[in-house]
Amino acid sequence: MGILVAIEGLDGAGKRTIVSRIAAAATERGARTSTVAFPRYGESITADIASEALHGEHGDLPDSVYGMALLFALDRAAAGAAIKAALREYDLVLCDRYVASNAAYSAARLREDVTRSPVVDWVADLEFGRFGLPIPDHQLLLGVPPDVAMARASDRAITDVDRPVDHYERDGDLQSAVYRAYSDLVSARWMSDWSHAADDAAVSAVIDQLTV
């Protein structure tokens, strides 16, 4: 059975880059590696509806914390069988964002303390319980500050016209709250062991740890 590792962080934190670095290092050391990125825009109808809502469509849907969280959860649920199959076939399965993102963003939007948050408990019960998604063996938080992550997301939108900045990415207060929520999930060791990499040296150390 393979190892499931989730890479978490704000939009613009560099998750895709780190997933690629970990995958390359693991492959170089002989590990069979698979990757998946969430939300699966362009592949999942629920992910696409969530994206459309974050760009001003679907009425008051984006105002519903639980409604948006359910859409993102359904996207992952639809990929659950593929993730389980990958864990049987590969040594290492890397997720560019996973269930913790739903917990962090939902708690931040409701201004709830993640250690005693009803929505965090609901996310865990829904995704790991009812939908039966595999619990990650390890989770890595990229500790890129909100102002840096937001600037990167804006720069990316300039070069990628198909991926404009959405409502969440434009909200500085929300991004700061999400950053704190993620940090609290790390401290609470939510669902698994975590690493918190605040700079490139720390990221490199975690890559070494995960690909031994």
In tens, the pLDDT along 139-166 reads 999 988 888 877 876 665 555 545 566 6
Q: In which order are the strands placed within the sheet that holds 33-37?
A: 33-37, 92-96, 3-8, 138-142, 193-197
From residue 159, how far is each of 138, 163, 191 by CA, in Å?
32, 9, 36
pLDDT at 4 over 90: yes
In tens, the pLDDT along 71-119 reads 999 999 999 999 999 999 999 999 999 999 999 999 999 999 999 999 9
Output the six-digit token pair for 143. Answer: 């500790």
pLDDT, residue 206, reads 73
Whether pTM > 0.85 for this model: the answer is yes
CB 175 within 8 A of CB 146: yes
Task: Reply yes or no on domain 3-210 having CATH 3.40.50.300.
Answer: yes
CB 166 within 8 A of CB 54: yes
